[in-house]
Amino acid sequence: MEDIIKILITDDNEVVREGLKSIFDSQKDIEVVGQAVDGVDAVEKAEKLWPDVILMDGQMPRMDGPEAIRRIKKIMPEVKVLFLTVYGDYAGDALAAGASWYLTKDCRRQDLLEAVRALAQSARLKARPAA
């Protein structure tokens, strides 16, 4: 049986969160374990839910994406963060903060799914003990 990829979606726009959730809900190997409305909420939910992959928006109220990534990576350095942004804004800051990769929000559905699966797979390979 294939492992289920647990993801946390973080975006201050409800329509974006629900749209992403509907994409992932149609996949048998991916489960949305939570949604966060800003960076503060993302840090709190990441600590409680321990997702494999976090989708993170850039510009949000209370705490932006790069700062949330920094805080989450201090708590759980093994988590993979996929930074989703409109125009590539904040991408450099997000990668410097510990994001594993970034995509723009106009990416293809298939690219998003492949990125989530690749990040989850790389986390599993690192977690596997050496033979």
Give the pLDDT confidence of 65-98 residue by residue, as tens digits. 999 999 999 999 999 999 999 887 789 999 999 9
**CA distance linking residue 116 with residue 4, whole number of Å:** 12
How far apart, in whole angstroms, are the C-alpha atoms of residue 75 and residue 88?
26
Distance from C-alpha of 57 to C-alpha of 91, rounded to nearest angstrom: 10
Domain locations in the chain as residue ranges:
5-127
Q: How confident is the model at residue 131 (pLDDT cuts 50, 70, 90)?
A: very low
* Cα 10 to Cα 23, 32, 68, 93, 122, distances in angstroms: 15, 11, 10, 17, 21
pLDDT of residue 90: 83
Q: What is the distance between the alpha carbons of residues 43 and 16, in angstroms, rounded to a whole number?
A: 19
* Total H helices, total E strands in the chain: 5, 5
Task: Kindly state the average pLDDT of the residues 111-128.
Answer: 84
Is residue 125 very low, low, confident or very high in pLDDT (cuts 50, 70, 90)?
A: low
Q: Which two tokens stand for residue 91?
A: 């991408």
Which CATH number is associated with domain 5-127?
3.40.50.2300
Secondary structure class of 88 (helix, strand, coil): coil
